[in-house]
């Protein structure tokens, strides 16, 4: 059974800091890994998707990497801003039915 | 990308009643999914809504409690039946339908409180 872990559960940083959010998964036989952002009381916004054959994806100040063999992914946020404050969820797709298994998320607070 | 809307956005319901949540996608999609996010927890898949056939439920979820409909390629409903306070959660609908990308898109969620 696939399990996804995100540690720590919460993180507080000053504005402008570069930071790394970690995600680990137990079964390396994944199709892809997706990072989402969730604002309080809101749904999920897709940030980046890395397919199993890829090593990283970039979008603006965000860079996500994938090391499938070790069961790890990182989301790098450059020059953090207060608007980046949200919960960041990592999810992996395993199996042919597009099912996503989620971690519990990391709640990020960027202090002005 | 797909834009997904859900109705209602939130509701407060009494124990023992049922609530039907609607999910509308702005384009035809192959697969639709229903997730539950309990307070302080991550998302758990309830079922996959299949067009033209019965939904496929995950372990721990049953059709009598969470009946699902998928009448066409853009719409699905989830009913939470005979509700108890333990059903208080955010219910999210998601969709996948672009054969060129495995990316899934999510609706804004329905926040349900059962008293």
Q: What is the pLDDT of residues B51-61, one digit of tens each?
A: 888 899 999 99
* Cα–Cα nearest to A56, from A45, A46, A67: A67
Which residue of B92, B107, B111 is in closest CB contact with A41? B111
* B76's tokens: 């699905």
Contacts of A4 in chain B (CB under 8 A): 42
Quote the pLDDT of residue A96.
Answer: 63
Average pLDDT over residues B33-47: 92
Quote the pLDDT of residue A94.
Answer: 85
Q: Does B33 touch chain A (CB under 8 A)?
A: yes
Are residues A43 and B106, on separate chains, in Cβ contact within 8 Å?
A: yes
The span from the CA of A69 to the CA of A30, in Å, is 10
Q: What pairing do the DSSP bridges indicate for beta strands B110-114 and B10-13?
A: parallel
Which residue of B45, B48, B103 is in closest CB contact with A34? B103
The span from the CA of B102 to the CA of B115, in Å, is 38
What is the number of other CB atoms lying within 10 angstroms of the CB of residue B18? 12
Cβ–Cβ < 8 Å for B54, B69: no
The span from the CA of A95 to the CA of B5, in Å, is 27
Which chain A residue shows the shortest CA-CA distance from B112?
A: A41
Print the SS3 string covering chain B. CCCEEEECCEEEECCCCCEEEEEEECCCCCEEEEEEECCCCCEEEEEEECCCCCCEECCCCCCCCCCEEEEECCEEEEEECCCCHHHCEEEEEEEECCCCCCCCEECCCEEEEEC
Average pLDDT over residues B29-38: 93
Enter the DSSP assignment of A15: T
What is the Cα B40 distance to its own chain's centre?
19
For residue A48, give how far its alpha carbon lies from the nearest alpha carbon of chain B (Å): 9
Q: How confident is the model at residue A61 (pLDDT cuts 50, 70, 90)?
A: very high
Pick A97 or A24 by higher pLDDT.
A24
Enter the DSSP assignment of B86: G
Q: Does A41 touch chain B (CB under 8 A)?
A: yes
pLDDT tens, A19-59? 999 999 999 999 999 999 999 878 899 999 999 999 999 99
């Amino acid at each position: 059974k696939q399990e996804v872990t995100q540690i720590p559960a919460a993180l507080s940083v000053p504005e402008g800091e570069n930071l790394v959010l970690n995600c680990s998964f137990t079964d390396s036989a994944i199709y892809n890994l997706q990072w989402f952002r969730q604002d309080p009381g809101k749904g999920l916004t897709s940030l980046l998707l890395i397919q199993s054959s890829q090593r990283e994806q970039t979008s603006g100040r965000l860079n996500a990497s994938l090391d499938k063999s070790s069961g790890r992914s990182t989301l790098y946020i450059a020059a953090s801003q207060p608007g980046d404050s949200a919960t960041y969820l990592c999810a992996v797709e395993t199996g042919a039915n597009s099912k996503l298994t989620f971690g519990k998320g990391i709640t990020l607070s960027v202090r002005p | 990308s797909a834009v997904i809307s859900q109705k209602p956005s939130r509701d407060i319901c009494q124990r023992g009643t049922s609530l039907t949540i609607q999910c509308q996608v702005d384009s035809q999609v192959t697969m639709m999914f229903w997730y539950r996010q309990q307070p302080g927890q991550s998302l758990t898949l309830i079922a996959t809504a299949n067009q033209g056939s019965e939904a496929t439920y995950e372990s721990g979820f049953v059709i009598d409690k969470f009946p699902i409909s998928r009448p066409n390629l853009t719409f699905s409903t989830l009913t939470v039946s005979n509700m108890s306070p333990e059903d208080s959660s955010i219910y999210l609908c998601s969709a996948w339908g672009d054969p060129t990308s495995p990316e899934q898109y999510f609706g804004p969620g329905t926040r349900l409180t059962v008293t």
